[in-house]
A and B are shown apart, each in its own frame.
Chain A
Amino acid sequence: MKKFIYYIVAAVVFTACTENIDLPLKSQGTHQLVVEGQITTDTTAHWVRLSYSSDYYDPVSAHVENAIVSISDGSNTFSLTEDTENPGLFKTAPDVFGLPGKTYTLTISRIDTDEDGETETYTAQSLMPDKPMVDSIHVSIEHKFYTNVLQVSYYGNEDPTPGDAYMYRVSINHVMVTDTLHEWSITDDEVYNGQRAVDEPVIYLDQKIEQYKVKNGDIITLESSHIPYEYYKFIFDALWESHGSDPFGGTPANIRTNISGPRKAWGFFAAYAVDRKSKVIKTDTP
């Protein structure tokens, strides 16, 4: 429902002017661990990226190197090895997959964020939900928001228990085009819990943007993920809090995290179930 508020903000910001200003900000003082990681139902090398937070205007974020990283489902433990070309990026073996209903624990050790010579261990837990029930999708070019958009909608049932959340991303010809957090579409089931979605639009991609442009015959894939509610909250916060406050938006607050350890840490480790449905688009202009 915050969508509506976005429109109102947009209406005001529409008439507002902006200018870059030199605003001194306080320093965070020290760097803290930042975690981005997930395990999904896909059989692939699942990854965890570790970095350090920095002062707001500091353009360099340091990677965490040489940490020991593992993911466990209680009975099996998958260890992650650091990518030689991408420092700070830790990967499982390529044949690993997650199973709905299992709780996954991420453990990060041999890390010293406060550089006091003593190593710290951080953990995070995430319960993997069931696969989303998407029967089929519908793709079309529509004139919306005063532009042409690729509209992707779906047909399917929603889990009858309340408190579910979903994330939608899109690939065009098997290339993920919504690869940054701002492009992810998320929703919870508060207002339609347990009901059937019929041609329900979940994502719009502006055809003025180069990477979203589609032509006749392109394969559009909707990646639907049934995500833990806490992960939904994390993405929601990240979308909502990334630009500071405005008089409509409420007091800014820190993005919630599920990483715990001896010192404050940021980010999220999520276990979620993925489903993909594809459709070839037919447009009027081939």
Chain B
Amino acid sequence: MHKLLLKLLCPVVAFFWVTTALADPSDTKRLTISGYIKDASNGEVLIGATIYLPEQATGTVTNSYGFYSLSLAPGNYHIKFGFMGYATENRQVDLSENMSLNIELNPETKELDEFEVVAQKKGMDLKKPEMSAVNLPMKTIRQIPAMMGEVDLIKAIQLLPGVQATSEGSSSFSVRGGSGDQNLILLDESTVYNASHLMGFFSVFNNDAINSVKIYKGDIPTWAGGRLASLLDVRMKDGNQKKYSASGGIGILSSRLTVEGPIQKEKSSFIISGRRSYMDLFTPLASEEALRETKLYFYDLNAKMNFTLGEKDRLYFSGYFGRDVFDNDFAGMQFGNGTFTARWNHLFSQKIFSNLSLISSDYNYELGFASTESKEYTWKYDMEEKGVKYDLGFLISPEYEVKTGVQWSFHTMHPGTISASDDSYDPYILQKKKSAEGAAYIQAEQKIGKKLTLRYGVRWSLFANRGIDTVFVYNKQYEEAGQKTYGHNDYFNWQNGVEPRAGLSYMINDESSLKASYARSRQYYQMATNTTSGTPLDLWFSASPNVKPQVSDQWSVGYNRYFHNQQIELSAELFYKDMQNTIDFKDHPTLYFNRKLEGELRYGKSYAYGAEMMAMLNFEKISGWVSYTYTQSERKIDGIANGDWFTSPFERPHSINIVLNYAKSTKNSFGINWVYSSGQPATFPVGRMEIGNVILPIYSDRNTERYPDYHRLDLSYTHKLRKHGRYEQELNFSLYNAYGRHNTWAIRFQQDNDDPKKTQAQNVYLFSIVPSITYNFKF
């Protein structure tokens, strides 16, 4: 394996060495200016803040740690530091030696600054050879009308073009026709395997603890991988470095509280943020016994600490723990994620940034079912990931930047255990599955002249299963044809692949640019589910001698343009995605408690293509976006739909999103969403038969029909109450599904109660109009 690694990496490294040498003409002396950009009010780092040199028309943005670095010839420079919603900081810098410059920006906004920041951002965004990526500011997310007033970043992401909720109310989402398990969700670099609370009506992300969120729709940067469809990169706040503060909210379904402050002023800080839902407090008031005795709630906790150790080193520790609990007289269920990340940022020099991360993540659930008074069955599932990542960033010149790194992680999955409380049965234990996943990557961003910027890189990923394991061998009919056993820590089924990824941007003029990108991704882990909605009963499985890694190639081209004094940003993208080793499930798969789960899988290929158009508005009082998406996506799977192409379960040909915020005054603002999408593909009966005194359906081929179209209007009104010293407060009123459309969650087919010979279709919908009120505070 090592030989293979060397063989693959040598030419890559050599290539970068040559291009680096070319890009860094040694006759010009270069100096570096670097530092962190922070919020002046709380010391929180600003991710994606702009550093702009207007005279040179060049600049950079801060990385996910709020760090920037620029390499320039000696001289006198005018530098503008900006971030949306903050006053721009102008600095005159005399660069005669390498220097470190930390900047704090004030969140007090003057409108003039807004425009300036937008203008700077425009320059950066147009030039950046990055496509299909959206950075949603937390401020924007908070303004979006939300169900039950519970503002949620995943629900906000689902309003972007190319992203769809997999079913109403779900926290699972489909990106460009992909399935929910093809999204890599990272919270401070740790994988979040199930992002849902309360059947998806809430996501695991507590807004108050989040600093930034960015989604990459397929063109995933080389430092991440292992999923085909998208990367959702969520970063937690570091905590207020200057003073203690608290914020929170009281809503109908849940409340939240965040406390943050310095541990040692300006040097270290903490944040701790918790939420709990309290529907269970009201259920005892219900008239029905079943509801009265049901407990249903969730809680979660985010915590983070960071320490600045001198100019060059920073340490971060962050964690998340959440739990959902459902309990009644005869059954109970608990599920939740835990993540932990320890990170060490180190600057070798102003030009070399490094980060070492230790990460751990787990997801588990437990169900209990009382069979008799004395006997209870318990079903347990557990999966965990432990890994290490090391990243290096080299700023070679303002025109040339290289990032590289290595990653390794161990995965353990316990697919299921059933035991009886009285030991009357031997426990049923499915084989524990262990595996390892690794990657090495290198990526460069290079500006060529004033118009062209290139990004090119490669990720080399590696996977192996790990003993002890017994793997079934299957014949062509997917029947068992033997077994193979592997010993303790035996590595087997080594899989590896090169994932080239590249992008370019070409400035047509100051207002517009053309972009293109290509990305290959490989996915070694997926979820056994044939449903569109996420249940908590996730069952992940890895590649194996029977399951080949899924591979996707995505090509995109795009056009970006600013209009109307940069107040309107128009972007249009076309993409085509070709996927190999697509995994689907045979009809009637047995997914749980099946030793031969792999025999239930079927393989094939799939594709998706589409167009996404979005107009981002940034007027003085009105902000938001309007978007339209067109998508087609099909699969061809051995043994499904007679081996013909069939519609992917996540294809929604047309969708329109309108998300607008109207800030009437500093005190009052209104939000409006309107969402439209084609109905989700469905399989309906075409005939019926009568057996066992019941009427049973005969179905059409898979996904030949659709649910009715989905559309919904949400409204919200936020009123800031009078400020008392430091104490700020606001009331939020929201109306979800304002015109009360009965959007289909499922269509059921039933025999008529009065005339059992008659059959009818029933629309099952979750929501009519949902009004709510939330009180938020901060001090």
Q: Which residues of A contact B (CB under 8 A)?
A: 1-5, 7-8, 11-23, 25-28, 32, 34, 36, 51, 53-61, 142, 144-146, 151, 153, 179-182, 184, 190-192, 195-196, 198-201, 233, 236-238, 240-256, 266-268
Q: A201-B372, A243-B750 are in contact. List 17 more A-B contacts (CB 8 A).
A: A4-B367, A8-B535, A8-B536, A20-B761, A20-B763, A21-B762, A23-B747, A145-B330, A146-B288, A146-B293, A238-B691, A238-B696, A243-B748, A250-B585, A251-B530, A251-B649, A253-B702
Residues of B within 8 A of A28 (CB): 686-687, 698
Q: What are 7 contact pairs spanning A and B, CB under 8 A? A: A12-B199, A18-B748, A26-B700, A57-B759, A242-B749, A244-B748, A253-B683
A247/B686 in contact, CB under 8 A: no
Residues of B within 8 A of A253 (CB): 587-588, 683, 699, 702
- Given A23-B761, A247-B167, answer yes or no on A266-B531 (Cβ-Cβ < 8 Å): no
B692/A21 in contact, CB under 8 A: no
Residues of A within 8 A of B531 (CB): 247-250
B532/A244 in contact, CB under 8 A: no
B684/A23 in contact, CB under 8 A: yes
Q: State which residues 358-384 of B face A: CB under 8 Å.
A: 367, 369, 371-372, 375, 379
Query: Which of A57, A184, A246 is B748 in contact with, Cβ under 8 Å?
Result: A246
Closest beta carbon of chain A to B582's beta carbon, Å: 15
Q: Which residue of A lies closest to B758 (CB)?
A: A59
Closest beta carbon of chain B to A144's beta carbon, Å: 6
Residues of B within 8 A of A237 (CB): 588
B745/A3 in contact, CB under 8 A: no
B764/A200 in contact, CB under 8 A: no
A5/B535 in contact, CB under 8 A: yes
Contact-residue size bin, chain B (C-beta under 8 Å from the other chain): 35 or more
Residues of A within 8 A of B426 (CB): 195
Residue among B290, B593, B689, B762 having the largest count of chain A Cβ atoms under 10 Å: B689
B746/A182 in contact, CB under 8 A: no
Closest beta carbon of chain B to A195's beta carbon, Å: 5
Q: State which residues 676-724 of B face A: CB under 8 Å.
A: 682-700, 702-705
In this assembly, does B346 line the interface, its C-beta being within 8 Å of a C-beta of chain A?
A: no
A266/B425 in contact, CB under 8 A: no
Bound-complex Cα distance A242 to B698 (A) = 9
In this assembly, does B592 line the interface, its C-beta being within 8 Å of a C-beta of chain A?
A: yes
Bound-complex Cα distance A21 to B333 (A) = 34
Bound-complex Cα distance A159 to B491 (A) = 37
Residues of A within 8 A of B367 (CB): 4
Residues of B within 8 A of A236 (CB): 588
Residues of A within 8 A of B768 (CB): 17
A53/B764 in contact, CB under 8 A: no
Residues of A within 8 A of B696 (CB): 238, 241-242, 255
Query: Which of B588, B592, B705 is A256 in contact with, Cβ under 8 Å?
Result: B588
Closest beta carbon of chain A to B691's beta carbon, Å: 5
In this assembly, does B344 line the interface, its C-beta being within 8 Å of a C-beta of chain A?
A: no
Bound-complex Cα distance A20 to B369 (A) = 34
B697/A244 in contact, CB under 8 A: yes
Residues of B within 8 A of A268 (CB): 691
Residue among A14, A146, A238, A266 having the largest count of chain B Cβ atoms under 10 Å: A146
- Given A21-B763, A146-B289, A182-B694, answer yes or no on A254-B699 (Cβ-Cβ < 8 Å): yes
Residues of A within 8 A of B288 (CB): 146
Bound-complex Cα distance A265 to B418 (A) = 38
Closest beta carbon of chain A to B509's beta carbon, Å: 47
Bound-complex Cα distance A4 to B760 (A) = 27
A252/B683 in contact, CB under 8 A: yes
A27/B686 in contact, CB under 8 A: yes
Residues of A within 8 A of B688 (CB): 53-56, 58, 61
Bound-complex Cα distance A13 to B696 (A) = 21
In this assembly, does B533 line the interface, its C-beta being within 8 Å of a C-beta of chain A?
A: yes
Bound-complex Cα distance A247 to B764 (A) = 11
Closest beta carbon of chain A to B141's beta carbon, Å: 25
Q: State which residues 412-426 of B face A: CB under 8 Å.
A: 418, 424-426
Query: Which of B293, B533, B585 is A247 in contact with, Cβ under 8 Å?
Result: B533
Closest beta carbon of chain B to A50's beta carbon, Å: 11
Query: Which of A191, A200, A250, A267 is B691 in contact with, Cβ under 8 Å?
Result: A267
Bound-complex Cα distance A248 to B538 (A) = 12
Residues of A within 8 A of B326 (CB): 11
Q: Which residue of A lies closest to B535 (CB)?
A: A248
In this assembly, does B329 line the interface, its C-beta being within 8 Å of a C-beta of chain A?
A: yes
A interface footprint on B541-562 (CB within 8 Å = 1, 0 otherwise): 0000000000000000000000
Bound-complex Cα distance A36 to B330 (A) = 36
In this assembly, does B742 line the interface, its C-beta being within 8 Å of a C-beta of chain A?
A: yes
B694/A181 in contact, CB under 8 A: yes
Residue among B330, B425, B682, B692 having the largest count of chain A Cβ atoms under 10 Å: B692
A14/B291 in contact, CB under 8 A: yes
Bound-complex Cα distance A265 to B472 (A) = 33
Closest beta carbon of chain B to A160's beta carbon, Å: 13
Bound-complex Cα distance A255 to B689 (A) = 11
Residues of B within 8 A of A7 (CB): 331
In this assembly, does B170 line the interface, its C-beta being within 8 Å of a C-beta of chain A?
A: yes
B692/A19 in contact, CB under 8 A: no
Bound-complex Cα distance A233 to B749 (A) = 21
B757/A16 in contact, CB under 8 A: no
Query: Which of A51, A153, A248 is B533 in contact with, Cβ under 8 Å?
Result: A248
In this assembly, does B124 line the interface, its C-beta being within 8 Å of a C-beta of chain A?
A: no
Bound-complex Cα distance A227 to B473 (A) = 28
Residue among A20, A61, A195, A246 having the largest count of chain B Cβ atoms under 10 Å: A246
Query: Which of B529, B692, B747 is A184 in contact with, Cβ under 8 Å?
Result: B692
Q: State which residues 319-342 of B face A: CB under 8 Å.
A: 326, 329-331, 333
Residues of B within 8 A of A153 (CB): 372
Q: Which residue of B lies closest to A17 (CB)?
A: B765
Residues of B within 8 A of A32 (CB): 687, 698
Residues of A within 8 A of B17 (CB): none
A4/B331 in contact, CB under 8 A: yes
Residues of B within 8 A of A256 (CB): 588
Q: State which residues 731-779 of B face A: CB under 8 Å.
A: 742, 745-750, 755, 757-766, 768
Query: Which of B686, B703, B742 is A26 in contact with, Cβ under 8 Å?
Result: B686
B750/A16 in contact, CB under 8 A: no
Residues of A within 8 A of B532 (CB): 247
- Given A51-B689, A61-B689, A243-B750, answer yes or no on A19-B592 (Cβ-Cβ < 8 Å): no
Closest beta carbon of chain B to A113's beta carbon, Å: 13
Q: Which residue of A lies closest to B172 (CB)?
A: A247
In this assembly, does B296 line the interface, its C-beta being within 8 Å of a C-beta of chain A?
A: yes
Bound-complex Cα distance A60 to B695 (A) = 11
Q: Which residue of A lies closest to B751 (CB)?
A: A242
- Given A16-B765, A53-B698, answer yes or no on A180-B537 (Cβ-Cβ < 8 Å): no
Residues of A within 8 A of B683 (CB): 245, 251-253
B689/A34 in contact, CB under 8 A: yes
Bound-complex Cα distance A57 to B759 (A) = 6
Q: Would you list the 7 A-B pairs with minimal beta carbon distance, nearest first?
A: A181-B692, A247-B533, A253-B587, A28-B687, A246-B746, A250-B530, A23-B761
B689/A245 in contact, CB under 8 A: no
B746/A247 in contact, CB under 8 A: yes
In this assembly, does B589 line the interface, its C-beta being within 8 Å of a C-beta of chain A?
A: yes
Residues of B within 8 A of A16 (CB): 745, 764-766
B587/A61 in contact, CB under 8 A: no
Query: Which of B537, B587, B746 is A4 in contact with, Cβ under 8 Å?
Result: B537
Closest beta carbon of chain B to A73's beta carbon, Å: 24
Bound-complex Cα distance A253 to B584 (A) = 14
Closest beta carbon of chain B to A125's beta carbon, Å: 18
In this assembly, does B727 line the interface, its C-beta being within 8 Å of a C-beta of chain A?
A: no
Bound-complex Cα distance A191 to B745 (A) = 33
Residues of B within 8 A of A56 (CB): 685-688, 697-698, 749, 759
Bound-complex Cα distance A56 to B686 (A) = 6
Bound-complex Cα distance A44 to B763 (A) = 44
Residues of A within 8 A of B296 (CB): 11
In this assembly, does B428 line the interface, its C-beta being within 8 Å of a C-beta of chain A?
A: yes
Residues of A within 8 A of B585 (CB): 250
- Given A36-B692, A237-B588, answer yes or no on A5-B537 (Cβ-Cβ < 8 Å): yes
